[in-house]
């Protein structure tokens, strides 16, 4: 069998559903198109995690009430640290090494050493943190899609992926307070702090609302590949306008909202860095730097394209020098564009806002939070009922995943379990959208009708007719590796230098 035939066979036999709303083929390594080896690594990540939970819970004192630190601060983050090179998890649960040996993919070399490394990676986890993946972190996303983001970011190294994922969940839960603070507080909370609070809380609220009202950064529309676009209008940014804490808080808020607008596991986002009117005297790309840092660490695989638009003379030359020291995968996503002709390769003219030379008659305006828009968040009885429903669904997902990884890969039994598992994930997504109004403060995108809960996101309500969408899809000839469509009458070979990053 040739290598090509073997690869095709593997692609046809993976146990993930292959349906997609996109006009292009799912890339290899993404949910819906995994090689046998890639699927084995996803299975191993779940198997190791659940074996960790099983062993920890078997040895715990059922009558002992855990503190918050014991639940959510892993050994690697605790002040009491063992000597370098020693794993606290290994010291506490020495049998884990042998247990993990049976769970790792058989294609790996030196399994015993790899098993020890896997146990060391578990120093970044607690059993409660593992359960947070489904309970809180994935929201409407398939848990496998989240795991795959970390696997791709770590170049398919299971140990690195597990370590990165554990660090991210700790960061979300303890350090950044993404769900319990930033999303729960939202724009309404910031506006209230600005008006009625004092000291630091009032300053943070005022800074947050200033960024929202000015529209220095906002989400609107999609590019030709269907990716939501985060616009950054650099000319409006001044570092003195807000504290670093306020800037990072608002940027994380936007990243989370952009993530909520993704409705398929292979989707990523696009950043449009608009440098129109930008002068080197005001050089400050702090928002972009922070987004790139978060995209590499806590939101891996969430960034599909970076459009640097209307860059001033000299910046492209500087970029050619800088990119030598940057990650090649990241630099491949960077494209320089000039004028509306340059953007047309990536964004359809009727979906490009007029500010950028497009045909869409839209401009950013901010609607202030409404007095009672978050009243559902006071209904703790309904919230707790939905959270309990989610807890039970997450336990069902856990049981189905254990059953899935215990059955031979590519077997009919594994396929059948996978179907039930995917149905459970659909129920989890449905649960999230019913829970969403009780745990997340409303945003401008909710108030202006773009976010529609379980019904998705509609950036262009007037263009949503099914016939027009089908017609648009039929026009697509191909999409390149960065997701750019090539439409008849759009490409301009005489101006190709405007499109590329080199």
Mean pLDDT by 10 residues, the chain (502 residues): 36 32 68 92 94 88 79 84 72 85 78 84 93 94 94 93 95 94 96 92 94 92 91 82 86 93 77 81 67 86 90 79 74 89 94 93 95 96 98 97 92 94 96 98 96 92 56 46 40 39 40
What span, in angstroms and rounded, lies between the C-alpha atoms of 447 and 420? 36
- In 171-313 the beta strands, taken as DSSP E runs, fall at 217-222, 228-233, 269-274, 303-309
CA 496 to chain centre: 31
222 DSSP assignment: E
Return the exposure string of 335-368: e unless at least 16 CB atoms fall within 10 Å of the residue's CB, then b. bbbbebebbbbbbbeebbbeebbbebeeebeeee
Q: Indicate the pTM of the whole model.
A: 0.85
CATH of domain 214-356: 3.40.525.10
Q: Is 245 in contact with 290 (CB distance < 8 Å)?
A: no
What span, in angstroms and rounded, lies between the C-alpha atoms of 425 and 435? 15
| Amino acid 385: pLDDT | 98
334 membership: H or E segment, kind and range: strand 334-337
Domains of the chain, by residue range, sit at 32-175, 214-356
Query: Do the strands 303-309 and 269-274 form a parallel or antiparallel pair, or are they unpaired?
Result: parallel
Cα dihedral sign, 74-429-145-289? negative
Residue 181, SS3?
A: helix
| Amino acid 103: pLDDT | 84
335 membership: H or E segment, kind and range: strand 334-337
Q: Which long-range contacts (CB under 8 A, 24 or more apart) does 130-134 make?
A: 130/49, 130/50, 130/52, 130/53, 131/53, 131/394, 131/398, 132/72, 132/169, 132/173, 133/165, 133/169, 134/393, 134/394, 134/397, 134/398, 134/428
| Amino acid 84: pLDDT | 64
Q: Is 156 in contact with 39 (CB distance < 8 Å)?
A: no
DSSP 376-387: GGG-HHHHHHHH
370 DSSP assignment: P
| Amino acid 400: pLDDT | 97
| Amino acid 8: pLDDT | 35
Q: How far is CA 114 from CA 98, 104, 164, 313, in A?
A: 11, 8, 17, 50
What span, in angstroms and rounded, lies between the C-alpha atoms of 416 and 312? 56
Q: Backbone dihedral region of 246: left (phi > 0), alpha (psi from -120 to 50 degrees) or beta?
A: alpha
Query: Do the strands 217-222 and 303-309 form a parallel or antiparallel pair, or are they unpaired?
Result: unpaired
372 DSSP assignment: T
Phi and psi for 478 in degrees, rounded to 5? -160, 165
């Amino acid at each position: 069998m040739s290598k090509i035939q073997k690869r095709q066979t593997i692609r046809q036999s993976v146990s993930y559903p292959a349906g997609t709303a996109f006009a292009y083929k799912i890339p290899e390594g993404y949910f819906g198109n995994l090689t046998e080896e890639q699927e084995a690594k996803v299975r191993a990540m779940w198997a190791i995690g659940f074996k960790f939970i099983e062993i920890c819970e078997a040895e715990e004192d059922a009558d002992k009430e855990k503190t918050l630190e014991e639940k959510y601060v892993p050994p690697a983050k605790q002040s009491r640290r063992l000597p370098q090179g020693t794993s606290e998890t290994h010291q506490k649960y020495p049998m884990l090494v042998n247990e993990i040996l049976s769970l790792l993919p058989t294609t790996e070399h030196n399994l015993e050493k790899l098993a020890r490394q896997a146990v060391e990676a578990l120093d970044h986890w607690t059993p409660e943190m593992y359960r947070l993946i489904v309970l809180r972190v994935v929201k409407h996303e398939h848990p496998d899609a989240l795991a795959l983001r970390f696997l791709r970011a770590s170049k398919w190294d299971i140990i690195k992926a597990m370590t990165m994922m554990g660090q991210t969940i700790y960061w979300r839960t303890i350090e950044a307070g993404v769900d319990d603070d930033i999303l729960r507080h939202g724009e309404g909370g910031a506006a209230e702090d600005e008006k009625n609070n004092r000291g630091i809380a009032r300053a943070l609220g005022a800074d947050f609302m200033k960024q929202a009202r000015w529209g220095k950064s906002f989400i609107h529309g999609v590019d030709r590949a269907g990716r939501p676009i985060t616009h950054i209008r650099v000319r409006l940014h001044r570092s003195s306008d807000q504290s670093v804490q306020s800037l990072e808080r608002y940027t994380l808020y936007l990243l989370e909202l952009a993530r909520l607008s993704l409705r398929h596991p292979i989707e990523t986002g696009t950043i449009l860095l608009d440098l129109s009117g930008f002068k080197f005297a005001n050089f400050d790309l702090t928002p972009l730097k922070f987004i790139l840092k978060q995209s590499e660490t806590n939101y891996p695989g969430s960034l599909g394209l970076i459009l640097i638009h209307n860059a001033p003379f000299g910046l492209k030359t500087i970029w050619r020098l800088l990119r030598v020291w940057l990650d090649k995968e990241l630099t491949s996503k960077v494209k320089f564009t000039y004028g509306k002709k340059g953007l047309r390769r990536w964004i359809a003219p009727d979906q490009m806002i007029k500010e950028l030379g497009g045909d869409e008659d839209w401009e950013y305006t901010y609607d202030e939070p409404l007095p009672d828009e978050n009243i559902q968040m006071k209904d703790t009885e309904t919230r707790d009922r939905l959270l309990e429903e989610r807890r039970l669904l997450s336990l069902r997902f856990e049981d189905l995943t254990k059953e899935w990884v215990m059955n031979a890969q590519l077997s009919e039994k594994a396929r059948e379990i996978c179907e039930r598992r995917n149905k459970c994930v659909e129920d989890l997504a449905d649960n999230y959208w019913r829970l969403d109004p009780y745990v997340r403060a409303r945003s401008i995108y909710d108030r202006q009708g773009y976010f529609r809960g379980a019904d998705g996101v509609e950036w262009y309500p007037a263009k949503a007719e099914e016939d027009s969408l089908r017609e648009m899809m039929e026009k697509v000839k191909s999409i390149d590796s960065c997701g750019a469509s090539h439409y008849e009458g759009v490409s301009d070979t005489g101006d190709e230098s405007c499109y590329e990053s080199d």
